[in-house]
Amino acid sequence: MVQKTILIVDDEEEVLFSLGLVLRRAGYIVLEAGNGIEALSVMTEAMRSGQGVDLVITDLRMPYMDGPELLAAMHRRGFDSNVMVMTGHAHDALVTRWPCRGCPKIIHKPFEADELLREVDGTLGRDPVVA
């Protein structure tokens, strides 16, 4: 079985650490980025190395480039990774606009490790989403 690569994008180091720990223990290769701009750089390098990124799990609100801006930039650059968004802002206007921007899944913070793994496994069990 080929290991799947997941990029976690969040501006909180604790979130990157804890999600990375859960996903690595579940057998995933994990890449990390602190914001959308950094995420694009990480994705570009992963593509150049032939690794690719199977799933991007991004926070909704981040400095420099938020989740919706990241998704738009990914599409412009031709990245075809699956995307999940995390948010602690359930009533945020960005949350209500997110599905129309092509994101298949929103996961609300706080969430348990088993919920995250269920969503990730379900997403990666399907054929990749083509942008």
What pLDDT was estimated at residue 65?
A: 87
What pLDDT was estimated at residue 127?
A: 36
Superfamily of domain 5-124: Response regulator (3.40.50.2300)
What pLDDT was estimated at residue 95?
A: 55
- The candidate with the shortest Cα–Cα distance to 113, out of 17, 2, 9, is 17
The predicted model gives 75-98 an average pLDDT of 74
- Rounded Cα distance between 44 and 52, Å, is 8
Q: How would you class 114 by CB atoms within 10 Å of its CB: exposed for 0-12, middle for 13-18, buried for 19 or more?
A: exposed
What pLDDT was estimated at residue 36?
A: 93
Residue 50 tokens, joined = 């032939």
What pLDDT was estimated at residue 104?
A: 58
Question: pLDDT of 14-68, one tens digit each?
Answer: 999 999 999 999 999 999 999 999 999 999 999 999 999 999 999 888 888 888 8
> Could you state, in order of their start, the residue ranges of all structural domains in the chain?
5-124
* HSE, side-chain direction, 13 A CA sphere, residue 66: 11
pTM, two decimal places:
0.85
Residue 68 tokens, joined = 């919706």
